[in-house]
Amino acid sequence: MRSPALVLLCCLVAAWPVLAADGIRTERVHFKAGSTGATVTGRLHGNQDVDYLLGAKAGQHMSVQLHSDNPQNYFNILPPGSEEALFVGSSSGGRFDGTLPDTGDYRIRVYLMRAAARRGEQANYSLKVQIGGGHPQSAAPKHDFADSLAGGPDFWEVSGVAAGDALNLRREPTSKAGVIVAMRNGTVLRNHGCEMHGGQRWCQVSMRDDPQRRGWVAGHYLRESSQ
């Protein structure tokens, strides 16, 4: 017969750690009964990486948000059976919202950027994960960021980029596309509409003062401009 303390401990654990062959620690995320999400906390030091593993079905909507005390702390999302990330946090930010393309185990890999890891930096973080059915438009957050797939304001403003960093205007709606120009917070851009690509929202924009510079940016870093 299990002791009450042991039963309570089992109920409180949200993720079980396993050390993978490549040295990346893996933790299986479990949702409590009746819940569609979970929040896990952790700490990184140097080159330590953690994969949070959870199963999902094609067509489900997943949102992931990272809060950390180190601005060089990011996460990637790897689809089932692949090392090619469908979301790269270092170029797209600390939040993912998208529809999942395949059924299977997804890996949310939390890491420090290479330079920070080499310096032996640390990060204390929390990762909030939610998985549900489709992504109903009525459930979209009510704020002035670029979170609609069409329409919106005439102009966006670059916002939320980390200090010393820049938002890349790319030739195609993917983080692998060529960079046209890098832009700082406050840059005003003309809106040409937003679309979902690779599980994240991309917006087609052009430079207000140079309309020939036209391309795609991650919608998470845009908000409605007052100009």
Which pLDDT tens digit goes with each residue over 169-181? 999 999 899 999 9
Please tell me the predicted confidence (pLDDT) of residue 134. Answer: 54
pLDDT tens string 192-220: 888 888 777 888 999 988 889 999 998 88
Please tell me the predicted confidence (pLDDT) of residue 151. Answer: 53
Please tell me the predicted confidence (pLDDT) of residue 12. Answer: 35
What three-state secondary structure class fits 6? helix
pLDDT lower than 70: segments of the chain = 1-23, 134-152, 227
Which pTM was predicted?
0.54
What three-state secondary structure class fits 10? helix
Please tell me the predicted confidence (pLDDT) of residue 152. Answer: 65
